[in-house]
A and B are shown apart, each in its own frame.
Chain A
């Protein structure tokens, strides 16, 4: 589960201006018409830390419990979303081909 600060890529000590600037940069990268889900996430993060009061409220009272999937996301964000390097791709493809045996199921029908 990323904090609103992490979503916007700002430090917890950032001021209103810095947060707004980071928010606008994120929105430019993920405009709502093309990335509605991502935009919603960014917008919610911005609303939570927009002003100094919002930030304090978030730090003091926010009790949203992180879902297990979100925690998994913290682990996978750094890896799964990244493109594999060529070596990993080749190894994975080789293992897929060896382990999955795609010709298996048609065997009974062949050569009558």
Chain B
């Protein structure tokens, strides 16, 4: 049996009765309680004093005690108790000024009609500021349909006077009649109790079309306005979708309770909304939220969303797909293909796309475009995983796609490029087919010209260039190609001993291009041709003239060395020109020159690049201190690429280190730094490995698989310690691209088992 605990607290037994105190002592005690803000005790003391002697001084002290007590009760939310106390105060202390307090308590207690009557009765005695706020409140209550307010306020009140206009404005607003709204609002003066209501309606009218302007109106509604909360609710609900979840989070509990009403949704939909917010950016969680609670959406929409989320669920897709068995088989294969791709399994994705293709009825011409697009998509995937797939296999996909849809320029260009990697004849055939298919396409023409020039078919290249320039007379690449073709033809004729014809080609080339790469170039070639004929004096004079036309001294000397190789000059000349170039490379560094020369290393290809590679060591000195200059990220990248191609290893290490100080997380700069360290013969350490792991992660996140491949190649230079093998937190696990095991496939080993074969879609 439990014993009832005796309630703790003050009891009369321990406290002496007040009537035993003298007046003086009581006064001291009352004042002490007031100082200590013990208003309940102060009330008892001053009541006792007033009982003994009704002095005004004590009445005022009693009023102070009452006010303190009322405040405390109201602060605790005991508004009705505070009102009762206020009533006692007014009876016991008739002179105390408490009209404002009374009105506020009535409003807080939601005794609106009583408050309105009290306000009407005491309007002149209530403070101006509270009066205005109370009137705004009564206006809002009238609009909310609160009964009895108008009668309590009386017909002379501005609240009642302007209510019909405000009501008309509201009614017109809800009926989307903005003209009528404007007219109604015009009849409400600025200083009326409906001022904030005007702002609210004006803002809400603009919410759907101009949220910024709407925000300006709504922001004018003060936080003490009766419309403030409503304005925030509508602003939150009608504002832009982005950020709606954070806006929901910012809501106070009371506002959250009003949310379904303000959004116009039911509780179930509200629950769905908050579940969506929790699932945030996790596709798997989102899938489940939509599957379980998405009935608030239309069924077709729910289904479409689920299908869209499936490929993002990674390996979990295999558990989810059986729910969608009703889908056509090719749809299932398509989802699996996309899921594999997003999961980093490009080769498996290609196989699933094959499944999709097999299920397409290719006898029907309307399906041809779809097949072509899938084949091209496969080819693009295979190119991304070029360590697994042969170029010949990729090319087969592209060729097949071009059979179904021959009007795709990009596919033709890619096919030609791929064929060039392993079969020159096939490349020429494809280039010719592309040209037949699209004879007037600028890019196809440029490709055909480059291809013809590569094969030394200069006449063909010239005629194609002429055709290209009739289509696009200001095409700079066409002009460059024309000069390149003429110079190449001239060099060929020189080597064949057809000097006059060669000079004619060189002369024709001179005015065509304004590019820095070709300035003075024809004179250099002409001069070299004279040197070949042992007309040294004239030859050197022409070379000097050509150099003067060049964009800079260093460029001129580099181009001279380059042309000496392209014209197959003897070693003595090459040595002389290289010496001049090496000497000039010691001069002061110029930003533009460094950028120009760096750009050239990217421009030259084929035997031109081989010739340039021979000249580049002479320039090494020029690049040694580039790290001392300031570069933008793009400039730094260009120079790093150039130095990597030219194998200026030491300057590259210095430059990449300097650039990493500014862009510490840039994966490309990290790659160049580690590459340079390794190529400098240094043993890379833990710091380099950590850097490289970071770069690999960044490259993967950027889907830069080429860079990822290059980074991965560098990892083999690192010492591998057994104790580090299982340090999973420390080692970045390379993104699963299935390298290694799949390299076997390229060598015609058994195909790797499919990842998603838990249910049979055949």
Contact = CB atoms under 8 A, between A and B. Distances in A.
Interface of A: 1, 3, 34-35, 37, 52-53, 56-57, 60-61, 63-76, 79-86, 88-104, 106-108, 110-111
A34 B656 CA distance: 46
Contact of A107 (B71, B209, B283): B71
A92 B297 CA distance: 25
B286 A107 contact: no
Contact of B338 (A57, A61, A92): A61
B265 A76 contact: yes
B305 A68 contact: no
Contacts of A73: 241, 244
B377 A60 contact: yes
B269 A75 contact: yes
Contacts of B286: 66, 68, 71
A34 B71 CA distance: 52
B305 A66 contact: yes
B208 A81 contact: yes
A95 B261 contact: yes
Contacts of A56: 369-370, 373
Given A60-B373, A68-B245, A68-B280, A100 B229 contact: yes
26 contacts: A60-B370, A60-B374, A66-B286, A69-B242, A72-B241, A73-B241, A73-B244, A75-B269, A76-B265, A80-B264, A81-B238, A82-B264, A83-B176, A84-B264, A91-B144, A93-B144, A94-B141, A97-B140, A103-B104, A103-B107, A103-B137, A104-B108, A106-B224, A107-B108, A111-B97, A111-B98
B104 A108 contact: no
A89 B244 contact: no
Nearest to A65: B312
A81 B176 CA distance: 13
Given A66-B305, A93-B230, A75 B296 contact: yes
Interface stretch (B154-162, B270-278, B416-424, B592-600): B270-278
A102 B230 contact: no
Contact of A94 (B108, B146, B227, B241): B146
Contacts, number: 180
Given A75-B265, A84-B264, A107-B104, A63 B338 contact: yes
A92 B170 CA distance: 13
A68 B287 CA distance: 10
B334 interface: yes
Interface residues of B, number: 86
Nearest to A79: B264
A interface, over-half SS: helix
B650 interface: no
Contacts of A76: 237, 241, 244, 263, 265, 273
B447 to A, nearest CB: 21
Given A75-B272, A80-B264, A97-B144, A67 B281 contact: yes
A56 B264 CA distance: 37
Contacts of A66: 286, 305, 308-309
B471 interface: no
A104 B141 CA distance: 17
B311 interface: yes
A88 B261 contact: yes
Cβ-closest 6 pairs across A and B: A79-B264, A94-B144, A111-B101, A80-B237, A73-B241, A93-B144
A27 B296 CA distance: 31
B380 to A, nearest CB: 10
B625 to A, nearest CB: 46
Interface in B252-303: 254-255, 257-258, 261-265, 269, 272-273, 276-277, 279-281, 283, 286, 290, 296-297, 301
B44 interface: no
A109 to B, nearest CB: 10
A57 B373 contact: yes
A69 B264 contact: no
Contact of B229 (A69, A75, A96, A106): A96
B241 A70 contact: yes
B245 A72 contact: yes
Contacts of A67: 281
B98 A72 contact: no
B140 A103 contact: no
A65 B143 contact: no
A37 B208 CA distance: 13
Contacts of B258: 92, 95-96, 99
Contacts of A71: 276, 286, 290, 297, 305
B606 interface: no
B230 A92 contact: yes
Given A63-B308, A91-B261, A102-B226, 20 more contacts: A56-B369, A60-B373, A60-B374, A61-B373, A61-B377, A65-B283, A65-B309, A66-B308, A68-B245, A69-B245, A75-B269, A76-B273, A93-B227, A94-B145, A99-B257, A102-B133, A103-B107, A107-B105, A110-B130, A111-B101
